[in-house]
Amino acid sequence: MNEAMKCLLERKSTKSYTDQQVPGELLDQVLEAGLYAPTGRNNQNVICVAVRDKKTRDRLSLLNAEILGVNSDPFYGAPCVIVVFADSAGTTWVEDGSLVLGNMMNAAQSLGLGSCWVHRARQMFETPDGKDLMKQWGLSETMKGIGNCILGYPDQLPAAKPRKEGRIIKID
C-alpha cells in the first residue's frame, strides 16, 4: 500500500494529547497542505489562523466550551489550534474550508501528529469576543469560521472502529 493510502486509512480523530507543542516546521507543513486543498473555481478564499500561544488557545477553548455548554476543554488538551475561515461571499465557502481541514488532518497523520476537527467555529466567531479576535487578526466580516483543527502529539493512539457496511454503491 502506498504511503498516501496508508495515511488516509489509518488517520483517526485524536482526543487525548501530550502537552508537547507542535514544532514550527511541522505546523508549516500542515498549513501548506491546507493551502493545496481544492477550492471552487480555484478561488483560494480560505484563511487559516494557527494558534500556539497558550493564552489565545485557552481563550478559543473557552469560547467553544461556552457554546457547547460544558466546563471541559473541547480541544482535548491539544496545544495547537488552527481555525479555518472562508469568505462567505463565495458560493462554495463551506465546502472549500472543509476540504482545507481534511487536507490538514491527513497531513498531520503523515507527520506523526494527532488531529481532530472540532465544530462550532462559526458560532465562536459570531460572539463579541470572537469578532474582537477576528478584528485583531485582520479578518473581514465576510469571513466565517468553518472548523477548528486541533493538533498535537497523541497521548493515546485512537482505536480503529470498523467501517459500516453498505455505504458504497457501484454502477458499472
Q: Provide block-wise average pLDDT over 10 residues at a time, the chain (172 residues).
A: 92 96 98 98 97 98 98 98 97 98 98 98 98 98 98 88 94 96
Which grid coordinates are listed for 48?
Answer: 487559516
Q: State the pLDDT at residue 108.
A: 98
**How would you list the strands of the sheet with 46-51, edge to edge?**
46-51, 80-87, 143-152, 114-118
Which grid coordinates are listed for 162?
Answer: 470498523
Q: State the pLDDT at residue 156.
A: 86
User: Residue 53, Cβ neighbours under 10 Å: how many?
Assistant: 11
85 within 8 A of 143, measured Cβ to Cβ: yes
Q: State the pLDDT at residue 159.
A: 77
Q: State the pLDDT at residue 163.
A: 92
Which amino acid, residue 68?
L
Q: What angle do CA 155, 160, 165 make, to 5 degrees?
A: 160
Q: State the pLDDT at residue 103.
A: 98
Beta strands, E only, the chain: 46-51, 80-87, 114-118, 143-152
**What pTM was computed for the model?**
0.96
Instruction: Report d(CA 51, CA 79) in Å as an integer.
Output: 9
DSSP line for 74-123:
TTTT-SEEEEEEEETTSSSHHHHHHHHHHHHHHHHHHTT-EEEEE--HHH
Interstrand relation of 46-51 and 114-118 (parallel, antiparallel or unpaired): unpaired
Q: State the pLDDT at residue 157.
A: 81
Q: What is the pLDDT of residues 81-90, one digit of tens each?
A: 999 999 999 9
Which amino acid, residue 25?
E
Q: What is the pLDDT of residues 70-114, one digit of tens each?
A: 999 999 999 999 999 999 999 999 999 999 999 999 999 999 999
